[in-house]
A and B are shown apart, each in its own frame.
Chain A
């Protein structure tokens, strides 16, 4: 098992390097940089701009910039954010946990609701529940997430005023302890609801499809022929098999806990890493963007390896010897 993990980690190194090169090149393609975007500022003169460039190392040739950046990454130094004037690592750390809270809530509700709907739809195929659920699900995953977010905001925050308009805490407030938790939770409702609704659809179809596939199998017929209770047949025999591919899906979704939903966070003004990075793009804060993208890439690669490992643990047929 350890051998497998080590092998995969080694295999992912070229992938990582390749990704870093591509990402870096994309940014290098841009004619403007942070300094250019600051040229609007009347205080900025050409001279000063040149100085700043030298300071930020923006005037060196491309491969050199890559090497210096990459070696920095390896040492854990992602450079400094131009927007925040702080090390990128610190910036990420400041905001990523806000995204994490949202992410955890979303994943929790998403998987809970999707599993219930999906499994129930499969057991009661073609029932009224199934038909309605299918229709709702289709509509939900056809909506752009930001549109749903906007609608939710309009209906629940602007018109009905049930929930706050955005942000993570009530502005100007100073809650601590339980009051703070309640305040944050109130602010979380709409963004969590939005993203949960968007993702529940696809996931529940997955559950449904897997369950349906498994229920048709011969070994389910055998289980019934043994005189087992239907509940046992479904939950012990069918579900265990149906869940296997879903373990992979779950693991691959884990990086999203840290990625932060860029557009949704922006709409709800949630101080997460997604919103911050988005703002960074608008002013061409490359270090921040590079750092963030590399982080997500690394997490994705790790998640892939983890998914394979977990699948081996769960499915005895694939168990890595």
Chain B
């Protein structure tokens, strides 16, 4: 059993806005093992990106602030590191790619410059060494004519190519973990498939852990080893991927799976989970999903359910299963 690479323990990241406190990440705990692919799933605004940004300590402060908990990465608590130590981890031991390839690259610097930067800063390569490694990386992410690309500018590349470059940059220093925040959301479906293939291949070659954030269950099914479902800043269910799809426990997860149309199956109407994600400000101490849940009981509106596990390693936070399982 591979050991834990990342462990989130009771992470709390809040945003202090004019209208109130947004508890974007509200007591989140889960782990990522070495070489494992963990998908964080949930609707927009559920806190998945903020969790990742907290790990990278890239939270804009103000208005955000990591208020509590621990994030253990490779044995060290990220939250206790100095900024200088953190910088040595970013881009070096942890790589990150973002959702919008169109705007994630600096428009006035060449691709080559941007790939070479982390190599020269973290691996202390000379310009020549960095240049060669960069070309290698470009080839690895499946882009032909690497030499030409090195001297091109971002606006000369397509969205898919830019995302590949982002991956190349993130991988340049052989990180132990790659965080991908909705990497394919802004891309065409065909390109999406290519990018996913690429990620899978790289992961295998390097035995790298992958933390993939998405709202698309199709991607989860394709690539995940383990799934963490978040809602309104909390983890409400987590399980190995097969187990989750076979046996969704939480009504929200069930709703998500039900909402995905299946090819070949006829449906009159697409299913949607009724209601809306609650206003993140001023949430009280009860199950946040309760007012949309068809199985809601009285206790759901009064107390927050905690995550509890069963023998299969399947965890869920829901009063429906309270008592059935041990915490």
* A241 pairs with B118, CB closer than 8 A: no
Chain B positions within 8 Å of A, measured between CB atoms, are 56, 58, 87-92, 95-96, 98, 100, 103-109, 117-118, 121-122, 153, 155, 166, 169-170
* B104 pairs with A218, CB closer than 8 A: yes
* B100 pairs with A227, CB closer than 8 A: no
Q: Which residues of B sit under 8 angstroms from A229, Cβ to Cβ?
A: 87, 121
Query: Distance (Å) between the CB of B179 and the closest chain A CB?
Result: 9
Query: Distance (Å) between the CB of A121 and the closest chain B CB?
Result: 16
* A244 pairs with B98, CB closer than 8 A: no
Check: A317 CB closer than 8 A to any chain B CB.
Answer: yes
A215-259 vs B, Cβ < 8 Å mask (1 yes, 0 no): 001110111111111001000110011001000000000000000
Q: Which residue of B lies closest to A236 (CB)?
A: B109
CA distance A314 to B107 in the complex (A): 11
Please, could you name 7 A-B residue pairs with CB atoms under 8 Å apart, sorted by A?
A: A219-B106, A227-B87, A229-B87, A236-B109, A240-B109, A314-B108, A315-B107
Q: Which residues of B sit under 8 angstroms from A317, Cβ to Cβ?
A: 107, 153, 155
* A224 pairs with B105, CB closer than 8 A: no
Q: Which residues of A sit under 8 angstroms from B104, Cβ to Cβ?
A: 218-219, 221-222
The 9 closest A-B pairs by CB, nearest first: A227-B90, A227-B91, A226-B91, A218-B103, A316-B153, A219-B106, A225-B96, A226-B118, A227-B87
* B105 pairs with A228, CB closer than 8 A: no
Query: Distance (Å) between the CB of A146 and the closest chain B CB?
Result: 41
CA distance A218 to B96 in the complex (A): 13
Question: Count the A residues whose beta carbon is within 8 Å of the partner chain — how many?
Answer: 22
Q: Which residue of B lies closest to A319 (CB)?
A: B153
Q: Which residue of A lies closest to B152 (CB)?
A: A316
Q: Which residue of B lies closest to A126 (CB)?
A: B62
Given contacts A222-B105, A228-B117, A228-B121, list 20 more A-B pairs with CB under 8 A.
A218-B100, A219-B103, A219-B106, A221-B98, A222-B98, A224-B58, A224-B90, A225-B98, A226-B90, A226-B118, A227-B121, A227-B122, A228-B87, A228-B118, A236-B109, A237-B109, A241-B106, A241-B107, A244-B108, A316-B107
Given contacts A227-B91, A227-B92, A228-B91, contact A241 B105 (CB under 8 A): no
* B155 pairs with A225, CB closer than 8 A: no
Chain A positions within 8 Å of B, measured between CB atoms, are 217-219, 221-229, 232, 236-237, 240-241, 244, 314-317
* A218 pairs with B98, CB closer than 8 A: yes
Q: Which residue of A lies closest to B84 (CB)?
A: A229
Q: Which residues of B sit under 8 angstroms from A314, Cβ to Cβ?
A: 108
Given contacts A226-B117, A227-B87, A227-B91, contact A221 B107 (CB under 8 A): no
Q: Which residue of B lies closest to A238 (CB)?
A: B106
Q: Which residue of A lies closest to B62 (CB)?
A: A126
| SS of A interface (majority) | helix
CA distance A225 to B91 in the complex (A): 6
Q: Which residues of A sit under 8 angstroms from B95, Cβ to Cβ?
A: 225
Query: Distance (Å) between the CB of B326 and the closest chain A CB?
Result: 39
Given contacts A218-B98, A316-B155, A317-B155, contact A225 B58 (CB under 8 A): yes
A221 CB contact (under 8 Å) in B58, B109, B153 = B58
Q: Which residues of A sit under 8 angstroms from B118, Cβ to Cβ?
A: 226-228
Query: Distance (Å) between the CB of B63 and the closest chain A CB?
Result: 11
Query: Distance (Å) between the CB of A183 and the closest chain B CB?
Result: 45
* A315 pairs with B108, CB closer than 8 A: yes
Query: Distance (Å) between the CB of A317 and the closest chain B CB?
Result: 5
* B153 pairs with A222, CB closer than 8 A: no
Identify which of B58, B91, B95, B169 gathers the most chain A CB atoms within 10 Å of its CB.
B91
* A219 pairs with B105, CB closer than 8 A: yes
CA distance A225 to B170 in the complex (A): 9
Query: Distance (Å) between the CB of A203 and the closest chain B CB?
Result: 21
Query: Distance (Å) between the CB of B117 and the closest chain A CB?
Result: 6
Q: Which residue of B lies closest to A316 (CB)?
A: B153
Q: Which residues of A sit under 8 angstroms from B108, Cβ to Cβ?
A: 240-241, 244, 314-316
A237 CB contact (under 8 Å) in B96, B106, B155, B166 = B106
Given contacts A221-B58, A316-B155, contact A227 B88 (CB under 8 A): yes
Q: Which residues of A sit under 8 angstroms from B92, Cβ to Cβ?
A: 227
Query: Distance (Å) between the CB of B191 and the closest chain A CB?
Result: 19
CA distance A110 to B117 in the complex (A): 34
B103 CB contact (under 8 Å) in A217, A225, A236, A240 = A217
Identify which of B95, B105, B117 gathers the most chain A CB atoms within 10 Å of its CB.
B117
Q: Which residues of B sit under 8 angstroms from A244, Cβ to Cβ?
A: 108
CA distance A228 to B91 in the complex (A): 8
CA distance A104 to B76 in the complex (A): 56
Q: Which residues of B sit under 8 angstroms from A237, Cβ to Cβ?
A: 106, 109
Identify which of A221, A222, A237, A241 gathers the most chain B CB atoms within 10 Å of its CB.
A222
Q: Which residue of B lies closest to A214 (CB)?
A: B106
Q: Which residue of B lies closest to A216 (CB)?
A: B60
Query: Distance (Å) between the CB of A122 and the closest chain B CB?
Result: 14
